């Protein structure tokens, strides 16, 4: 479902050019659960931003579900993000004055979905992460784990092809992290492709494949038998 060839991204820092991503070639099949690992500055976040159509490469190709997206306009990239990709971040990125239901409905507003259908789909998404009964609660009334589950419901509400998670357990305690990883595994078993950035080997062991980055390059591509979260 994802095919990148020779993907590169460079940034200017004063007189120097930093190769944040340097000629990465990799393919990810539909239905995989992939962990992306590497130290700070390794290129893993740049890789995630390019997969998520949040940035454009300087060179190389990127095909998402058969569509070439590397050269699309900003508006076209926004449409791809809204239609095909769900995002989950470490900081949850929920609107604090809005209810869980309102937060989950937000992507459908941009997609032009009618109000009644938005409510129906948002409640179903909250139900899928075990939070339907918290639909009218605001983020400040929810625990960190519950806030992250709301964020996951928001990422799922437009039925994306791809779920991108950037350090989704970084702000959570160990027990709550395992709950969230277990949720990702259940979603993956339903057929959703999951790409998860993490610096924690304890999280990567639950993925079926690990991509290891360093200095902007893909060093290792390892397949493994994933552990099952409790």
Task: Dump pLDDT digits (tens) for 58-79.
Answer: 999 999 999 999 888 888 888 8
Give the pLDDT of residue 148: 94
Per the structure, the count of domains in the chain is 1
Residue 147 belongs to some domain of the structure = no
Domain at 80, CATH number? 3.40.50.300
* Stretch (H or E) spanning 77: helix 74-84
Residue 8 belongs to some domain of the structure = yes
Identify whether the C-beta of residue 16 lies closer than 8 Å to the C-beta of residue 193.
Answer: no
Q: Which domain holds residue 38?
A: 2-93+161-223
Residue 217 belongs to some domain of the structure = yes
Confidence of residue 130 (pLDDT cuts 50, 70, 90): very high
- Decide if pLDDT at 125 tops 90: yes
The pair of structure tokens assigned to 227 is 């552990």
Confidence of residue 109 (pLDDT cuts 50, 70, 90): confident
What does the buried/exposed string (b/e) look like for 68-96 if buried means 16 or more CB atoms within 10 Å of the residue's CB?
ebbebeeeebeebbbebbbbbbbebebee
Residue 113 belongs to some domain of the structure = no
Q: What is the pLDDT of residues 151-201, one digit of tens each?
A: 999 999 999 989 999 999 988 999 999 999 999 999 999 999 999 999 999
Q: What is the pLDDT of residues 11-50, one digit of tens each?
A: 888 888 888 999 999 999 999 999 999 998 899 999 999 9
Residue 181 belongs to some domain of the structure = yes
């Amino acid at each position: 479902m994802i095919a990148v060839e020779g993907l590169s991204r460079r940034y200017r820092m004063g007189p120097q050019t930093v190769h944040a991503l340097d000629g990465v070639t990799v393919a990810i099949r539909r239905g995989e659960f992939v962990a992306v690992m590497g130290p700070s500055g390794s290129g893993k976040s740049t890789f995630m931003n390019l997969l998520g159509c949040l940035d454009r490469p300087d060179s190389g190709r990127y095909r998402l579900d058969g569509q070439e997206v590397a050269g699309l306009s900003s508006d076209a990239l926004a449409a791809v993000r809204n239609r095909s990709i769900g995002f989950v971040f470490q900081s949850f990125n929920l609107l604090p004055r809005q209810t869980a239901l309102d937060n989950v409905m937000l992507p459908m507003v941009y997609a032009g979905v009618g109000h009644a259908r938005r409510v129906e789909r948002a409640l179903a998404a909250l139900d899928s992460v075990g939070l339907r009964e918290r639909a009218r609660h605001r983020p400040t009334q929810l625990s960190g784990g519950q806030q992250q589950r709301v964020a996951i419901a928001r990422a799922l509400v437009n039925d994306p092809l791809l779920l991108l998670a950037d350090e989704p357990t970084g702000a959570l305690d160990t027990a709550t992290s395992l709950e969230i990883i277990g949720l990702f595994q259940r979603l993956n078993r339903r057929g959703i492709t999951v790409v998860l950035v993490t610096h924690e080997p304890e999280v990567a062991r639950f993925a079926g494949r690990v991509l290891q980055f360093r200095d902007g390059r893909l060093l290792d591509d390892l397949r493994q038998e994933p552990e099952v979260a409790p």
